[in-house]
Structure formats: structure tokens, C-alpha cells
Structure 1
Amino acid sequence: MPKVVIVGAGPTGATLALVLAQRGISVTLVEATRDFQRQFRGEGLMPSGLNALHQMGLDALLDTIPHRPLSAWEFWLNDRRLFRADEPLGADRPCTLVAQPPLLTALVQAAQSQPDFDWIAGTAVKDLLWQNDRVAGVQLVDGRSLAADLVIGADGRASAMRQKAGLTLDTQPKSTDVLWFKLPAPPDYAVDNCFCTVVKDGRVFSLFHGAEVGKLHLAWAIAPEEPTLQQDWATTFAALVPPALVEHFRAAEDAISPPLRLSVLVGRCPRWHRPGLLLLGDAAHPMSPVRAQGINLALRDVIVAANHLVPPLKLEGAVEAAAIDGAIAQIQAEREPEIIQAQALQAHEASRGEQLRRFALLRQGLSSLAPVVGPLVKQVWSQQQQPLRQGITTVQLEV
């Protein structure tokens, strides 16, 4: 039976492992950590990501883990609301925040019920195994060797598999980092979970209620060279947030978590594959945090990968390496157009935010005219969001 080794049990690796195992393909999923409790994991599932999980038959699994739909998107300039756009913005389901650690745990547990699935946690991959210039498996740090007809690198933006295979990542110039905070959520957010973006006094940040009960998240954009200085964050935020939240932030002075600095990396591999090896998700195309595209595009990667990989991996008799290698080339060819367009749309939206941050007269003009221009800006913004929400290309699970 053909064997697949997937390195990395994030959303890409765990979901693809489950999909392949359910179709009778022998899969070993290797994860360097012992659990999924990383400090930061993206939570935003757009309608495109929810649709991908639906196509994989995972709606019931999603219902068993902590999740919270967004109610709306709001944009505030200089203490005035420019507009509010209510979810689901024309989609069947609203953008939903999902706690990743329990999601990944549930995916692995579901895969473990399949007879041809093997789970190796707490063990990193040391190197790739090669045979006749083709990847033939992986060597683990504990000395074990795992032979494979195909290795899939789903090990994130710092992908060791990408580096071991000699595949390059073309990166975009760094324009921002993010400081991530958590604090108690105001009671109103339990019923009206609004993703609120604020631009004021040269600062841009967003806040929303995450999937975790009672926790408000705040993402604070900073320049890459800007140091993370200790300061009175409660006072800083209280001077910038919408008026209704000022007292809440003042009262939360002792409850705001220390900031977690996230270095934003955006790029794309010119080539996602070598003979016997395929990169997917952030390993192939790390995304900007704008509109939470990383997890959503990764799930769409999984569907396209399954469509192309299941037929050659299910062939009776000897596995044809050429058929597998042809399939992995087709996966990149099908997925790359959406990735390119999504990154361009993210960059365009980020540039508009940067213009508002830099130009005080533009902020002042829009905020003072908010009752007049707000509805038009809302209409344009809502229309422009559709590709990043619904997906740019058609992705349909066919196997």
C-alpha cells in the first residue's frame, strides 16, 4: 500500500491526514510538539473555510469544539464610527472564530479511528531521506526512519521541510508586526461580537471576542523596527478605543496580558514540490493576517490536494512515482492563482489602512463626513471583501 508521511499537525496537516486516511490511504502524521497549546493560533474561519470543512464532512466535529460567530465588522476613525457591516454579508454562514487547539485535537482523534493512520507526536523530523534524487521518506530526531511514497511538508512558515528540500521562499518586504493582547471581554460582546478596527492618532488596531469564553483579543500593529516597550497599556488603549469601551479598558489595567509579538511573514514558493515531496499551507505560501486567510486557504489546499493525490495513491499494484509527481505539480498549478490574488488583495487592504494611519487630514475628513460617506464606504468595502470571504476560485471535493 502506498505510504504518505505528513510533517506538521496544524490545520493543513491534520485535516489532510484525516481526509486521506478516511479514503484508505496509509498516513503517518508527525508533529514536533506534544500538544497544540501554542501561544498563538489563528481562529478566523471565513465562509470559504467553513465550506471546505463542510465538504469534508466535518460540520459535526466543528460543533463539538469552542467556536463563536462574528456579529459584524465596525471601523472607527477618530472616535467616530465610519460604518458597521453585519454578518454574514451575503454568505450562508458568518465568519466564525474557532479555537484551534481543540480543533486540531479533534481532527487527530478522528484520524486515529482509521486503520491506516499513525500518529507520532513530540518528535521532530531531522532530515529527508533521498533515493535516486527523489524524496523517499524522513528521518526523525530519535533515529527512526519512515519510508514514504510521498512526504508532505505542512510545517508552517518556517518549514524545515522546505529548507531541507532546498526550496526557496520569495518574501514580500516586511511592513508590520503585531502585538497580541488578551483581556476580559465586556459583557456586551457575549451577544454582539463585533470585529472592531480603530484608526486614531497614527495607530491601527483591531479588537474582537475570540473563541475562548470571556476573552477579548486586541491586535496592535507596529512597525517591524519598533521596540516592544513596557508601558501602561490600559491607559494607552483607553485613549484610543471607541468611547463606549473607555471605562472597560481603564478597569482592566491589571487584567491585560503581556503582549505577544508576532512577526508577520508573507511570501510564496516559486516551486512547492520536489520529486516525492509537496509543500502545502503556510509552508508554501505564508499569508498576511489581513482577513485571516491563512487557515482558510490551507483548508482549500487540502481539498485540491486530496482530489489530485487520492487517485494515484489508490492505484492497484506498484505505485507509480511519476503519477504522484505529476499530481503534486498539478496541485500547485491549480492553487497558485488563488494564492497570488489573495495576497494581492490583502496587500491592497493593508495599504488603505496604512494611508489612514499616516494621513491625519484623510482621517479627519472621513470621520467628520461619516454620516454621509459611511454608507458608500460600507457598500464598497463589503463588495471588495467577497473574494477573501468566499474564495477566489472554485474548490470542490471530488474524491
Structure 2
Amino acid sequence: MKSDLSDRVRRTIEKYHMAEKGERLLIGLSGGADSAALLLCLHELGYDICACHVNHCIRGEEADRDQHFCEELCKGLNIDITVKVVDVPAYCRANPVSEEEGARLLRYKALQEINADKICTAHNLDDCLETTLFNLARGSGLKGIASIPPVRENIIRPLIECSRADIEAYLFEKGQSFVTDSTNLLDEYSRNKLRHKVVPVMREINPSLMDTFANTLGFLREDSRFLEKMSDDAFAEAVYNDGFSCKMIRKLDYPIRRRVIMRILAKYDVEVSQDKIEMIEHLICNGGKISVKSNCFAYTKSDTLYIYSENSDLKICSDDQVKVSEGVIYWQGRNIEFRIIEIDGKFENVNKKFANSCLDYDKIKGVIVLRKRRAGDRIRLVNREHSSDVRVLMKQAFPLHKRDSAVLLADDEGIVLAENFGAADRVRIDSTTRRVLTYEVISE
């Protein structure tokens, strides 16, 4: 007979579409009450499960005790278990993170290394309350206050709607022991302070705290999910010409606009903070150029926001020019393929897009090179009565950070082709053309 807790876990899995019976589920097993209950529940519900215990090398003999407990628990249930040992203190000495955060990062890394369809963690409703309070105390938006998500990528949390009291009652009913992490009893960790000092006061104010919070959390998650979906759609709509439309972003209501800016920052691996959001918003409204992180800049042009990095990839080809030959040339962060095609001169119906990417190879004077624009460069395009300043053309066609990587071909007499504008009139293809030089940007 299934317990009330098992039924609640089953309903939670179905509600959030967490897992199918045929999938293999990996349980992060610490040996504490939550993970022990999760193991028993999923075993009781007939899921294909395995376990992983991560020894953090923090608590000496106590950590070895926890490992032994987990191994014996799984052995009694005939469940496969993997033990991973990670040196959290050494990791924290090498990286600027707290012991609590270091343990979390290494634990998830260890779990992801094991072959399984889903990873199950034992976060419960009490954990969600503590997370909400923690995020509220340090400052957070709706997503942070909505606490731990039931599903995140391949990580699922079947106990997310169960209280710690319900979990411990379930284990008592089953006669199942568990281990207690002594660090959970210490108030030196922020979450423990909330658990031991703040939550009890809240229970005095509202004896039905967990039920009330569960309802509130449901509303918060639904609101957050709705706003995130709207923001995803707005972000996709804002993408424009290798940048983002300032006009479109300005029209958005602030809650959506802020989230779109957060997505823009995240896309370029810029730390998301209120200061950075405000800097980008000011740029979108007023124009200009700012530094958003080391060697990374944001600026606006023609009411479009661009973010670019002055990274090493863009400087691999630092020469001003490179000789053009058949094959792929890596140029300023782009792979450009050049081909010489022999034809019969019948170009009456040639595709205009193709024609803008080719020239008559036999009309080239001397050596043809791919190079950056230079002061004084001019080109007389096909069917034009006058020549054009190449720098002006590049400004029209490319944002600032793309101009040096534009395809600009020159021979001994000057520019013969400019990307997006086509060939010079003197190397245009016509009825006498027998060899055509073409290019295609194949990656960037």
C-alpha cells in the first residue's frame, strides 16, 4: 500500500511532467531525511532508480558515516549506488566561493557525470521557504522569490510540494532511520539562521504557515512563468541586424523590458546585475557606448543595440590583408570560402544575390587580396556614374565592430568588391566572362 507521501510525490511528478516510468532516475543521496524519503518513495512507486552519494571531504568521520549509511540503505533495497569524493575545502581555496556554494557546485557536477535520464534532488517545501526568505533578504526579483523550480533542465524535485514534517513522519511510519548533518545544526550558515530563528517566529504568527506558503508559491511560480514566456518572445522579436532593436525594447512594459535586457546580458556572458540593467536601459534610451565588462562593449547605432567583445578570436588574423586563393580563409573571426568557377558567359538570368558576391576573375589587375578598409578607398559600383567612399559604404552596411571583418577585395588598382554592395564596374561579369571569383561566408 502506497503512503500519503508517495501519492503526493506521484501527483507532483505528473503535475510537472517530471519523468516517465521508462526513464532511469538518479537520486542525489546524502543520507539525510529528505533524500532517504525520496529514495524510498520512488522505489515504492516503481521507478527505475539509482543513487549517487557525494562525500564532500568536510566533516571527517561523520562524512564517512554518511557514506556507509547510504551504501547500506541502497544495498538493502538492491539499488545501484555510486560514491563520488570531492574536495570542497581545496576547491574553495582555489576559487572565491563559500564552502556552502562550493559544495553545491561540485555536487551537481558529480551528479551530471553519471549516466541517467533525470537527476532527482530532495528539495522540499521547507527548502523553498528558506530560499524565498534568503533571496528576499539579499534582494531579488520575482524569479528568486518564486524559489526553487520543480524542474530545471534534467533536474527534477519530486518532494518540492512536501513539508519536512511530512517527510519525517513518513520515515517514522516506515521505521527508516536517517543521518543528520551536524552543520545543519550550526547557525553560522545563513540558511540555518533562517531555519532555526526566522521560520519558528513565522509559525507562531501563522500555525498553517506551510500550507499558506504552498498556495502563495504556486501563484508566484505561475506569474513568473508567464512573465518569462512573454520575455522569451519579446527577446526573440528584439533581435535585429546582428543586434537588438532599441525602438522595440523601449515599447516594452518595464517588467518585460528588464527581463529582455537580462537575456541580452546573459547572451554575451555579462554578469546580470541591477547596475548593468540600468546601464543598458540608459543606452537604449539615450544612445552612446559603454564598457559592460573587460574587453566587452555595448553601443547603439541607427537605433540598434550592439554588444561585442574585443577578444583574441577577432585578432587571430591581425594582418591588414591576405592574398586570396581558392579555399577557406579565416578573416577577422569569419570563415570565408573563395571559389573560381568556369562558365560560358551566359549571365542574363543570374541571381542578383549571387552577382553581388562575384566578379570577373580575368579582369583583376595583378594580385587580389582580402583586406581592411583604408583612408581614401573608393569604388565605382556596377551601373554607377560616380565612385563611392568605401568608408561611407561600410558605415551604411555594418555596425562599428563588424566593419573590419567585412569582405573587401582589392587588386593593384584599388577596390574591386565590397560586401553587400557587389563588384566594381571594371570587373563586372558580362558576356565575355569565362572565370568568376565568388565568395561565401560559411561561419562567423
Fold match by TM threshold 0.5: no
- Structure ranking higher on relative contact order (CA contacts 8 Å, 6+ apart): 1
**Counting strand residues as a fraction of each chain, which structure ranks higher?**
1
**Counting helix residues as a fraction of each chain, which structure ranks higher?**
2
What TM-score do the two structures reach when normalised by structure 1?
0.25
Larger radius of gyration between Structure 1 and Structure 2: 2
